């Protein structure tokens, strides 16, 4: 094919890139937002967000008020998970505290608590849980169960000591956590956040780029042949690609210095993953661009197809395995899911391409397919214009 040597291609793409760059550079507001805000956000997120469930407000209604019951209650306070919301003096008070939200959980200790325990009789303790936030409620219940189990174990130990039986622990479970021994939320959130940010910058900016030309009637710029159209599209998106790369570099640096989130694996592979992912995201953006007629529509499509799904479907925050099968299939549509595998693989697990080549391949295919469809559509529209 004449004119499609690498030299010629770069010669044609360069002015487009330069023009696009100039336009972007003049738009100080957007630049500021694209470069600085992600870093700032990441800072705040790393600092403020974690998955730990603590400070659960607990109300207690102690009908027994013995040393045993007090010891029982202390177990909760000492656990570090609960904040004592107050001591109620009636069931009605407990209800009120739960209804008003003053307490998230409540323990009601029966009057015959210590009496039964002394007589080696099982005793039932009421636990009331505000289930509105199921996540914290589940964790809280888990803690409560564990604390009660521990208390019972203590009773058992004393019992066995009394009877002169040797106490031992039948099964000793040793949990060992790989990749993130402290289970630090930051290590989990930050790689995913990078993907999130990149996805946003790439998709939404490119989604508007072509539509803008449509609205302003400058579509004639786009050339006649599909390959040339592709060149132009790529040329348009390169500046955003570069900006997104810079942004991600900043986020990585910030994550490393402030939150100790380092890259265990090869940095080079990390960037390969990022570039491929960006291509896929750009492809998605351009695809949207080719379908939308106004910038308003393009923006909405971009947001709805990238922000929310990325946030919720890509496994970023919610584990995909817990979702219905259909959705697990759907989650394959957003390239973010695969990118997260790659980025977590490199950053946290120190893995190499053998582990995630499939994901890389998928993103590449996604990129090519979306770019091709976008180019086709835009060409068709240009012809009709």
Partner 1 sequence: MRIIYHLIVKELKQLMRDKRMRFLALAAPMIQLAVLGYAATTDVKSVPMVVCDGDRSSASRDFVSRFTNSGYFAVEDTVDSPNEIDRHIERGNAWLALVIPPSFSADVLARRTVKVQLIADGSDANSSNIAIGYATQIVNNYSQEILLEMLEKTPMASKPARVIPRVRVWYNESLTSRNFMVPGVVVLVLMIVTLTLTSMAVVREKEIGTMEQLLVTPIKPYQLILGKLIPYTLVGMVDVTFVLVISAYWFNVPIRGSVFLIYGMSCLFILNTLGIGLFISTIAQTQQQAMMIAQFGFFIPFMYFSGFIFPIENMPHAFQYVTYLIPLRYFLEIIRNIFLKGAGMDTLWPDALGLVVLGVTVLSVAILRFNKKLG
Binders of partner 1 among 52-91, rule CB under 8 A? Answer: 52-56, 72
Let me know: does 315 contact 343? Beta carbons within 8 Å. Answer: no
- Shortest Cβ 230–partner 1 spacing (Å): 22
- Sole window of 7-15, 132-140, 278-286, 375-383 interacting with partner 1 (rule: CB under 8 A): 132-140
Which parts of 147-176 interact with partner 1 (CB under 8 A)?
Answer: 148-149, 151-153, 155-156, 158-160, 163, 165, 168-176
Does 178 interact with partner 1 (rule: CB under 8 A)?
yes
Output 295 or 381, the one with its CB closest to partner 1: 295
Output 305 or 370, the one with its CB closest to partner 1: 305
Specify the DSSP element, H or E, that contains 344.
helix 335-347
Does 1 interact with partner 1 (rule: CB under 8 A)?
no
Integer Rg of the chain from CA: 29
Does 224 interact with partner 1 (rule: CB under 8 A)?
no
# residues near partner 1 by CB under 8 A: 129
Output 183 or 385, the one with its CB closest to partner 1: 183
User: Considering only CA atoms, which of 40, 64, 50 is closest in space to residue 118?
Assistant: 64
User: Considering only CA atoms, which of 357, 332, 327 is closest in space to residue 342?
Assistant: 357
Output 12 or 54, the one with its CB closest to partner 1: 54
Task: Output 278-281 pairs: Cβ under 8 A, ≥24 positions apart.
Answer: 278/198, 278/202, 278/241, 278/244, 278/245, 279/241, 279/363, 279/364, 279/367, 279/371, 280/335, 280/339, 280/363, 280/364, 280/366, 280/367, 280/370, 281/198, 281/199, 281/202, 281/203, 281/206, 281/306, 281/335
Does 116 interact with partner 1 (rule: CB under 8 A)?
yes
Q: Which residue has the tokens 């995913």?
A: 192
Output 7 or 28, the one with its CB closest to partner 1: 28
How many of the other CB atoms lie within 10 Å of CB of 218? 10
Cα separation, 234 vs 12, whole angstroms: 11
- Sole window of 9-17, 249-257, 275-283, 344-352 interacting with partner 1 (rule: CB under 8 A): 344-352
Does 214 interact with partner 1 (rule: CB under 8 A)?
no
Does 221 interact with partner 1 (rule: CB under 8 A)?
no
Does 331 interact with partner 1 (rule: CB under 8 A)?
yes
């Amino acid at each position: 094919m004449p004119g499609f040597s690498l030299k010629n291609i770069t010669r044609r793409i360069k002015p487009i890139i330069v023009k696009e760059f100039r336009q972007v550079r003049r738009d100080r507001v957007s630049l500021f937002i694209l470069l600085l805000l992600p870093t700032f956000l990441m800072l705040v997120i790393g600092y403020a967000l974690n998955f730990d469930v603590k400070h659960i407000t607990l109300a207690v209604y102690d009908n027994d008020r013995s040393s045993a019951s007090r010891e029982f209650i202390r177990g909760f306070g000492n656990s570090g998970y609960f904040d004592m919301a107050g001591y109620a003096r009636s069931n009605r008070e407990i209800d009120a505290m739960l209804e008003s939200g003053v307490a998230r959980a409540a323990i009601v200790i029966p009057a015959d608590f210590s009496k039964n325990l002394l007589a080696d009789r099982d005793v039932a303790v009421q636990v009331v849980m505000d289930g509105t936030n199921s996540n914290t409620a589940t964790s809280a219940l888990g803690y409560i169960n564990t604390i009660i189990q521990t208390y019972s174990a203590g009773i058992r130990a004393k019992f066995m000591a009394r009877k002169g039986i040797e106490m031992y622990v039948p099964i000793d479970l040793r949990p060992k956590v790989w990749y993130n021994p402290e289970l630090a939320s930051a290590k989990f959130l930050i790689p995913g956040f990078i993907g999130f940010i990149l996805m946003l910058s790439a998709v939404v900016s490119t989604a508007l780029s072509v539509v803008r030309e449509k609205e302003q009637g400058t579509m004639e710029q786009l050339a006649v042949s599909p390959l040339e159209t592709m060149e132009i599209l790529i040329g348009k998106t390169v500046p955003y690609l570069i900006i997104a790369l810079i942004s991600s570099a900043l986020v990585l640096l910030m994550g490393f210095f402030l939150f100790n989130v380092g890259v265990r694996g090869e940095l080079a592979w990390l960037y390969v993953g990022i570039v491929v992912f960006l291509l896929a995201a750009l492809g998605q953006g351009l695809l949207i661009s080719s379908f939308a007629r106004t910038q308003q529509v393009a923006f909405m499509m971009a947001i709805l197809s990238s922000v929310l799904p990325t946030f919720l479907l890509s496994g970023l925050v919610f584990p995909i395995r817990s979702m219905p099968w259909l959705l697990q299939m759907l989650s394959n549509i957003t390239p973010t899911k695969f990118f997260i595998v790659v980025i977590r693989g490199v950053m946290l697990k120190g893995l190499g391409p053998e582990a995630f080549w499939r994901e890389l391949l998928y993103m590449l295919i996604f990129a090519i397919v979306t770019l091709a469809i976008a180019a086709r559509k835009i060409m068709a529209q240009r012809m009709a214009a």
